[in-house]
Amino acid sequence: MSAATPDELMIAAAAAELAGVRTVFVGIGLPNAAANLARQSVAPDLELIYESGVVGARPTRLPDSIGDPALVSGAAATMSMRDLFGGFLQGGRIEVGMLGAAQIDRWGNLNTTVIGPYESPSVRLPGSGGACEIALNAQRVVVVMNQSRRSFVEPVDFVTSPGQRRPDGSGERPPWAGAGPTAVVTQLGVYHFGPDGEMELAGLHAGVDDETVDAGTAWPMRRAATITRLPEPSAQTLEAIRRLV
Amino acid sequence: MSAATPDELMIAAAAAELAGVRTVFVGIGLPNAAANLARQSVAPDLELIYESGVVGARPTRLPDSIGDPALVSGAAATMSMRDLFGGFLQGGRIEVGMLGAAQIDRWGNLNTTVIGPYESPSVRLPGSGGACEIALNAQRVVVVMNQSRRSFVEPVDFVTSPGQRRPDGSGERPPWAGAGPTAVVTQLGVYHFGPDGEMELAGLHAGVDDETVDAGTAWPMRRAATITRLPEPSAQTLEAIRRLV
Amino acid sequence: MTSKVVSLREAIAANVHDGDTLAIEGFTHLISFAAAHEVIRQGRRDLTLARLTPDLVYDQMVAAGCAAKLVFSWLGNPGVGSLHAIRRAIEAGQLEIEEYSHHGMVARYAAGASRLPFFPLRSYDGSDLAAANPQIRRVSSPYDGEEISVVPPLNPDVTIIHAQRADAEGNVQAWGIVGVQGEAALAARRVIAVVEELVDSSVVRDDPDRTLLPGTVVDAVCVEPFGAHPSFAQGHYDRDNGFYRDWDPVSRDPARLEAWLNEWVRGLDGRAAYVERLGAARVDKLRPDPRPSGSVDYGSYR
Amino acid sequence: MTSKVVSLREAIAANVHDGDTLAIEGFTHLISFAAAHEVIRQGRRDLTLARLTPDLVYDQMVAAGCAAKLVFSWLGNPGVGSLHAIRRAIEAGQLEIEEYSHHGMVARYAAGASRLPFFPLRSYDGSDLAAANPQIRRVSSPYDGEEISVVPPLNPDVTIIHAQRADAEGNVQAWGIVGVQGEAALAARRVIAVVEELVDSSVVRDDPDRTLLPGTVVDAVCVEPFGAHPSFAQGHYDRDNGFYRDWDPVSRDPARLEAWLNEWVRGLDGRAAYVERLGAARVDKLRPDPRPSGSVDYGSYR
């Protein structure tokens, strides 16, 4: 078996963040693979809930979109988006939301809207979709994204999905909101958030050192009290991941 | 064929009020019979919509409640009450709401809540159900009820479902509301409402005279410009009604 | 997936506590009398009972002394008349009431289900209902300044619904009139689903659109055939309209009502005994002929 | 009951006018490309196009010059990348945008469907979206003073949905992902339903729970098999993911895109010709194997 790719390291680390979880709001791609891996390992009772309103999918093939027909056939339930976003997500019934982003700042604010100013962007990104309300209403959020000085930035060009504080460090999450981003998984490592809401390096993938992290972050990345060396995925885990992507 | 009973006169007159109508919100009893009669005669495209969320019922027997299973089997659609009261009724998609009441006043205010004061009633009635929002959101309302000095009163003890003005004659219907009660059908005759919102005698059933109406009204009942003599139900109509009740 | 199937006795004991706000919902259809009777048997007290139409189910619970307060929108025995036990309790000052319209109750559950601080609706203007209930308030639109009525969220401690079937994971499927069962369940802290039939997960998963509540929101599944009688379960049994009519003289007379509760609730150990006492003839008479929905094709995608 | 069945050409001509607000809804599933192409053929201009996910369907309409404004919540080619025609139009200042989140768009349709002046939702706090869109505002709860975000109603002049089947009375049945199709239709002044199959009313009435829209809210029924391609119709055909991927280079190049529109839209007289041009092999490849829902029993009550 060949060594784990960066994507595979991210999938394994993101799956570990779902240990014991029962409801996760997922998108296609890495989060989907991570959630399926978790269901086969650390979260046997996990139900995958898709933005398209599908609950408890058992796809017979890899879904190509969050509205893939293979997600529907054999699912436990379908819901209208009103029920999904109102009764389920806003109702507080989603434990973990998984989000990606083009940019993140030290407070976990996510940008999926524009690079550059909103009125005349240099790159127009897709926008929120459900990300803004997932960031606010899921009980907690796991972010999965690629890390570089272009994505780990300060400040983000636009806050699509709120993190622990405003980009200037002010403010707090509303009292009704979930815990917000509690983990960020990248190809370099895993980050958690300190009691003041600032991101800190908590774990490093095999072969990655502190300097690589600093080179891939546009602000001085804080360190957690203990930084773990993330386990390399076992051959069995790698095999499972490769069946999922 | 025996002569028409008072109930049968009311059913025939109420059905006539539904000429050309396509959507009616009905309850069980006389309104149900009137709506079904209308669908067989003056309103062939009429769809009966029940408070239970059943649309376009084709019952194989007389329903005993608005949630009768015979209304569901063979219906065009079932809806949750959220969709029924939100998207349909409040959405303005109901042409006529049919309501009954224990009391009515000259402005068409209906009481189905209490006789006597609210806090210590002499008779506790069922309350609003959907009547308050039907009275406000249906494009217009047809009232079907028995008439006497105890039911045609001034003022009503409680306004459950608003009419054309407040009981003291003040106020107007909100700008977003439907036309409110436009016809009241009783065992004595049919009443419409003048441009100022006051009820007026518009038609008399066979064998009923003005004095009977005055004796059955606790206020001086106004007369419409022309008072019609309501047609006696034909033998065919009576036969149809008797199949319906 | 851990099974959620427990006995109704266990489900009530674990989930319904003295002083709770309880909603046994179902509009005419699928009213869990079985659960109400178990609550009576377990002697729960001081409950706040919420339901659009209190119906016989709450008349019985009030008569049995379970309730301190009633939240409702239409108080009657449909097509028959009054709920006499509830009327007596109100008149005796033993039962507090909080009264809405149907849409008001629907909106309260919808607000509760989606954690909104209020829900707006076009009702109550020109009615005396808002004056009778200070919980009905007004909000101004920030777009045109228009005022609109609002109601507060209703979040039952427990919602109990009846349905035709569920699997052991708690995925609940219902057909026919669903009323406010979905919103009432999502609004609740704990949810008990009582069903006619426990089915294999594959039955549920063959038709995911039929699922009213996914298992993730259901705490307990209890299998109680005929558990909604004298209400009905579409396709399983008819509404027992005779029972509703016969309830009137029972409910009028406190002594007869007490005897009824002793005979049909306290004197029995559960729904199976109740069904046996009803007798095969009465049960059979309520069974409809088949009327299949037909099947649609979801497609198998590989 | 008068039949509502008309050709798609007639339905678009009668219901879609220059300057209208148009919503062709369907979340990934059941997107009526057939209707979009007919709108392009009829040369409609200055439309405000509303959709959670503009998708290829609006990329094509924008490229064809139908649109003046876009109201949306997620702008991309799912799993592939950008919608290049829309991006070019925005960058050239030819297309106004009004941007929400998914829940914001859902709430806008829900407010429109139920004639509410606003709809409250727990979103936007701490995000820059409200600053970018002054239509996102705040309301205080009259219960605890808490502030909550609100969005205004969205009432399309026309909503077009695709579904698996309808009867001639306009009762529309759909299964699988329904997204916001119900709310978007109820919010609209006029509703066009495009379906795979016209069925007898008895088929609909055998399973009334399956009805997404009763005929009373539908103005026109158009029968266009394969009318959602390259989107999909659960049980009828798969999503054509290859088409979505292949769209990227077409959409990037204005000349290729114009040629595509000429070949696949303007050069054809309707969906049947489009399907013929796709070819039997491609169509057959998208057909799933059967996976029946199974039947439930509604009961026949006499």
Q: Transcribe A54-108 into DSSP letters.
A: EES---SS--SSTT-HHHHTT-SEE--HHIIIIIIIITT--SEEEE--SEE-TT-
Q: Is the pLDDT of residue A8 over 70?
A: yes
CA distance B232 to chain D (A): 28
Q: Is the pLDDT of residue C1 over 70?
A: no
The pLDDT-based confidence of C31 (bands split at 50, 70, 90) is: very high
C122 touches chain B (CB under 8 A): yes
In the prediction, which pLDDT does A86 show?
97
In the prediction, which pLDDT does A65 show?
84
Contacting residues of C for A75, CB less than 8 Å apart: 205, 208
Taking the C-alpha atoms of residue B180 and residue B140, their distance in angstroms, rounded to an integer, is 5
In the prediction, which pLDDT does A244 show?
83
Contact state of A86 with C300 under an 8 Å Cβ cutoff: no
Give chain A's contact residues with C (Cβ, < 8 Å): 22-23, 44-45, 47, 54-56, 58, 60-61, 68-70, 72-79, 83, 86-88, 90-93, 176
CA quadruple A11, A13, A17, A22: dihedral positive or negative? Answer: positive
Q: Is the pLDDT of residue B1 over 80?
A: no
Q: Give the single-character DSSP code of C52.
A: S
Share of chain C above pLDDT 90, in %: 98
Tally C-beta pairs within 8 A across C and D: 153
Tally C-beta pairs within 8 A across A and C: 82
The pLDDT-based confidence of C163 (bands split at 50, 70, 90) is: very high
The pLDDT-based confidence of D2 (bands split at 50, 70, 90) is: confident
In the prediction, which pLDDT does A59 show?
85
D79 touches chain A (CB under 8 A): yes
Burial class (CB in 10 A: 0-12, 13-18, 19+), C142: middle
What pLDDT digit, counting tens, does each position of D78-117 carry? 989 999 999 999 989 999 999 999 999 999 999 999 999 9
Among chain C residues, CA nearest to B175? C146
Q: Is the pLDDT of residue A114 over 70?
A: yes
Chain-centroid distance of CA D272 in Å reads 20
Sheet containing C119-121: order of strands: C119-121, C147-151, C137-140
What pLDDT digit, counting tens, does each position of D161-195 carry? 999 999 999 999 999 999 999 999 999 999 999 99
Q: What are phi and psi of A9, to 5 degrees?
A: -60, -40
> DSSP assignment of A21-62, as one string?
--EEEE-SSHHHHHHHHHHTTT-TT-EEEETTSEES---SS-
In the prediction, which pLDDT does A60 show?
82
Contacting residues of C for D175, CB less than 8 Å apart: 209, 296, 298
Question: Choosing among D216, D217, D218, D221, which should be mutated to test the B contact, i.e. which has the most B CBs within 10 A?
Answer: D216
Angle, CA B62 vertex, CA C242 and CA D215 arms, to 5°: 130
In the prediction, which pLDDT does B156 show?
98
**Among B8, B17, B47, B51, which one carries the catalytic annotation?**
B51
Taking the C-alpha atoms of residue B88 and residue D113, their distance in angstroms, rounded to an integer, is 8
Taking the C-alpha atoms of residue C157 and residue C190, their distance in angstroms, rounded to an integer, is 6
Contacting residues of D for B64, CB less than 8 Å apart: none
pTM of the complete model beyond 0.80: yes
Contact state of C143 with D152 under an 8 Å Cβ cutoff: yes
D14: helix, strand or coil: helix
CA distance D213 to chain B (A): 8
In the prediction, which pLDDT does A31 show?
87
Taking the C-alpha atoms of residue D140 and residue D76, their distance in angstroms, rounded to an integer, is 35
Mean pLDDT of D153-158: 98
The three state secondary structure string of chain B is: CCCCCHHHHHHHHHHHCCCCCCEEEECCCHHHHHHHHHHCCCCCCCEEEECCCEECCCCCCCCCCCCCHHHHCCCCEECCHHHHHHHHHHCCCCCEEEECCCEECCCCCEECCEECCCCCCCEECCCCCCHHHHHHHCCEEEEECCCCCCCECCCCCCCCECCCCCCCCCCCCCCCCCCCEEEEECCCEEEEECCCCCEEEEEECCCCCHHHHHHCCCCCCEEEEEEEECCCCCHHHHHHHHHHC
Mean pLDDT of B48-62: 91
Among chain C residues, CA nearest to A53? C209
What pLDDT digit, counting tens, does each position of B112-165 carry? 999 999 999 999 999 999 999 999 999 999 999 999 999 999 999 999 999 999
> Among A61-70, C119-128, C270-279, which is the least confidently predicted range?
A61-70
D3 touches chain B (CB under 8 A): no
Q: Is the pLDDT of residue D204 over 70?
A: yes
In the prediction, which pLDDT does C101 show?
98
Share of chain D above pLDDT 70, in %: 100
Please list the residues that pair with D48 across neighbouring strands. Answer: D21, D69
> H or E segment at C255?
helix C254-261
Closest of B78, B76, B74, B64 to residue B28, by C-alpha:
B64
In the prediction, which pLDDT does A119 show?
92
Contacting residues of B for D217, CB less than 8 Å apart: 93
CA distance A46 to chain C (A): 9
Preceding omega of C230 cis (within 30 degrees of 0): yes
> H or E segment at D259?
helix D254-261
Contact state of B127 with C126 under an 8 Å Cβ cutoff: no
User: Out of A53, A68, A74, whose CB is closest to D239?
Assistant: A68
CA distance C29 to chain D (A): 13
Beta strands in chain D (DSSP E): 21-24, 47-50, 67-72, 96-99, 119-121, 137-140, 147-151, 158-166, 172-173, 190-198, 211-213, 220-223
CA distance D157 to chain B (A): 15
The answer for residues whose C-beta is within 8 angstroms of residue C257's C-beta and 6 or more apart is C63, C85, C250, C251
Taking the C-alpha atoms of residue B6 and residue D3, their distance in angstroms, rounded to an integer, is 38
Mean pLDDT of B72-84: 97
Contacting residues of C for D172, CB less than 8 Å apart: none
What pLDDT digit, counting tens, does each position of A12-59 carry? 999 999 999 999 999 777 888 999 999 999 999 999 999 999 999 988
Please list the residues that pair with C232 across neighbouring strands. Answer: C29
Provide the annotated active-site residues of A: 51
Bigger pLDDT: D20 vs D79: D20
What pLDDT digit, counting tens, does each position of B165-217 carry? 999 999 999 999 999 999 999 999 999 999 999 999 999 999 999 999 999 99
Mean pLDDT of D252-260: 98
Question: Within a 13 Å sphere around the CA of C17, how many CA atoms are in the beta-carbon half?
Answer: 6
Question: Choosing among D3, D114, D119, D201, which should be mutated to test the B contact, i.e. which has the most B CBs within 10 A?
Answer: D114
Among chain B residues, CA nearest to D202? B74
C216 in Cβ contact with A47 (< 8 Å): yes
Contacting residues of A for C182, CB less than 8 Å apart: 83, 87
Bigger pLDDT: D220 vs B29: D220
Among chain D residues, CA nearest to B78? D209
> Among A147-161, B33-47, C253-267, which is the least confidently predicted range?
B33-47
Mean pLDDT of C242-256: 98
Share of chain A above pLDDT 70, in %: 100
What pLDDT digit, counting tens, does each position of D33-42 carry? 999 999 999 9
In the prediction, which pLDDT does A40 show?
92
> Among A36-40, A164-168, D21-25, which is the least confidently predicted range?
A36-40
C28: helix, strand or coil: coil
